[in-house]
Amino acid sequence: MNKKFWIVFTVLVVGVLGFAIMQSKNNTKTSRKIENPKIVQTDDHIRGKTESEVALITYGDYECPACNAWEPELTKIREEYKDKVAFVFRNFPLTDKHINAFAAARAAESAAQQGRFWEMHDLLYARWAEWKGDNKSAQGKFEGYAEELGLDMAKFKEDYKSEAIADRVNSDLASANQVGATGTPTFIIGGEIIETGSVSDGKSKIRQILDQKLAQ
């Protein structure tokens, strides 16, 4: 083969690789835009008093040990303030640390398509030990939870692998980066990121700030 052939071949390879890289970058973009991550959005997952002026926004990772440790305390806080505060959960999967975090977020968002987001959210934390870590059966576990919740399994599986669900997770992730969240869980109350540390150190602080905001 002559020199001209190899030049043309090299140009073609470089062009194909460049296109693939650009496509990869394009695929990480999200069509859903959270304009102001510090306040509640109309399509957020909310429980409690949805129209409340006071909101506790949690950026969480289902596979995160700290998030798992916080969940029982957050449940207590929701039970205490349920008629006063809007409780919001947004996805912040730390995929560099937690291999199944994004997949778990997919499962919750897929359940949301059938009106069962919070039920799946709670199951993912309650059964955390079953699927965390390098567990190749994680997706099967998530499908088992969906069956347990009585979801339409054909729809759940279709949604789970869809670009729309990935887009939803990525949009939350983009908003976490926008607001300056660096780890999970990250809490926002009244537009401010609350530094809590451990559950024992932070549980009183969360309540104190909620009380202050409600009193204003």
State the CATH number of the domain containing residue 129: 3.40.30.10
Query: 176: closest CA among 64, 59, 52?
Result: 59
pLDDT above 70 as % of the chain: 86
Question: In the Cβ-directed half-sphere of 46, how many Cα atoms lie within 13 Å?
Answer: 19
Query: Does the residue 17 lie in any domain?
Result: no
For the chain, report the end-to-end CA distance as a whole number of angstroms: 79
Within-domain flag for 14: no
pLDDT of 95 over the 50 cut: yes
pLDDT at res. 11: 42
CA distance 88 to 72: 16
Element (H, E) at 192: strand 192-194
- Kindly report, residue by residue over 138-192, the tens digit of the pLDDT: 999 999 999 999 999 999 999 999 999 999 999 999 999 999 999 999 999 999 9
**33 CB-near residues (< 8 Å, 6+ apart):** 171
pLDDT at site 134: 77
For all residues of the chain together, what is the average pLDDT? 87
Does 32 map to a domain? no
